[in-house]
Amino acid sequence: MANSVATQYEAVPDVASDARTPGRDLVVMKFGGTSVGDTQKIKDVARRLAAARESGYRVVGVLSAMGHQTDELIRLAEEISARPNAREYDMLVSTGERISNALCAMAIHDLGHEAVSLTGSQAGIVTDTVHGKAKIAEIRGRRINELLDDEKIVLVAGFQGVSSANEVTTLGRGGSDMTAAALAAALGATVCEIYTDVEGVYTADPRLVPNARKLKAITYEEMLELAASGAGVLQLRSVEFARNHDVRLHVRSTFAQVEGTWIVDEEDPVLEKAIISGVAHTDCEPLFRVREIEAAKLFERLAAASVNVDTILQVASDEIVFSAPLEDRRACEDLLATLGVEWSMRDDLGKVSLVGAGMKSHPGIAAKTFATLEQIGVESKVISTSPIKIACHVATADVPRAVTALHDAFELETA
């Protein structure tokens, strides 16, 4: 069942931008859950934010919930209800970010600086009305700019906003990245720094490939493909937003004072001109087979259910195969069960993706990819491509071997 298809991404809306004060550089600094995992780490983050302010920057911080607090809130919701009400679910899971931001503001005050923590709605983040996966429609940045003009450090709760219907919404897993990128675009930030527990973007997951190499820089397009293919360091939508609004992203470690990885335009002088930038993977990507339904109807219904479809194959006139992220599996199953069509699902496949802008000008990448997998006895059940990506659905058990073999075959451990 091998075939190929180009990857498409959702359209990203424009944001309303309020001009920053001339001559004053603004930095947006986003800290993930591991960066604010306990009160001591929050104090350390407060010192980072204060140091940026002391260096002369106007500073906006975006903090995720502490550690695994969001997962704990989700667990509580699922203990109460097998299918929690979407509005109340957003009300619940959006509280974690408010806690970490308020605590950090307290720590900044103790360091002798003024800070104000804001919810997503207070910060002017307006979204559509889709709960759980809302898309940002507008940033109303006036309040933030007024606070910055008063020499305050502004902290914004990530992952959340307010809908046009005045309801609390959340932006989906990893949504704090999206909050940071959108604020950077709307406020005219010099850079959007994404702080995490790794030192940057690597050529493969270092937990799987110990000799994976940290990249100095990578293009937006390559990072989009890596994020879509399982690299968890950045949320896919945040990268797309940054690309569309020319926001330079810098992925770096919270726990080390070292340069990270820059996400930049293809013409940026900092960029390495590598043929292959990395290998990304997912351990499981459900594959759905549907018969006797028009493609337009199927994908309209999937879109209405906020399912992010990845690979699409028309394997016969009356049969469609598509894959979707694991987190969308329940939504797919619920929808297909209502359509009155014949369908099946398999969840024994993962996806291994080779990504690199050099594919566009270097023939033979595909041949080497498939020869490498053949040599180690790994069969590609589905193949999908874009101009800078080759992705193979393989048995979940074969994913680690496939990633390691491709990383070695293209010598990605060397600069």
* Sequential pLDDT tens for the chain (415 residues): 444 444 444 444 555 545 444 446 999 999 999 999 999 999 999 999 999 999 999 999 999 999 999 999 999 999 999 999 999 999 999 999 999 999 999 999 999 999 999 999 999 999 999 999 999 999 999 999 999 999 999 999 999 999 999 999 999 888 999 999 999 999 999 999 999 989 999 999 998 999 999 999 999 999 999 998 888 888 888 999 899 999 999 999 999 889 999 998 877 666 666 789 999 999 999 999 999 899 999 999 999 988 989 889 877 778 999 999 998 999 999 999 999 999 999 999 999 999 998 888 888 999 999 999 999 999 999 998 888 999 999 999 999 999 999 999 999 998 5
* pLDDT at residue 268 in the model: 67
Amino acid at 266: E
Which run of H or E residues covers position 392?
Answer: strand 389-395
DSSP-based three-state secondary structure for 211:
coil
The topology (CATH level 3) of 287-346 is Alpha-Beta Plaits (3.30.70)
Name 357's Cβ contacts closer than 8 Å, sequence gap at least 6. Answer: 219, 221, 222, 266, 274, 277, 388
pLDDT score recorded for residue 270 = 65
Q: Do domains 26-264 and 287-346 have the same CATH topology?
A: no
**What's the one-letter identity of residue 238?**
S
What does the alpha-carbon distance between residue 256 and residue 253 come to, in Å, rounded to a whole number?
Answer: 6
pLDDT (0 to 100) of residue 21 = 45
Q: What's the pLDDT score for residue 291? A: 93
Give residue limits of the domains in the chain.
Answer: 26-264, 287-346
> CATH: 3.40.1160.10, 2.102.10.10, 3.30.390.50, 3.40.50.2300. Which one for 26-264?
3.40.1160.10
Q: What is the pLDDT of residue 271?
A: 67
Q: How many Cβ atoms sit within 10 Å of the Cβ of residue 413?
A: 14
Rg, the chain, Cα only:
22
Question: Do residues 125 and 160 touch, judged by C-beta distance below 8 A?
Answer: yes
Residues 6+ apart with CB under 8 A from 196: 32, 34, 35, 233, 251, 252, 253, 254
* pLDDT (0 to 100) of residue 318: 85
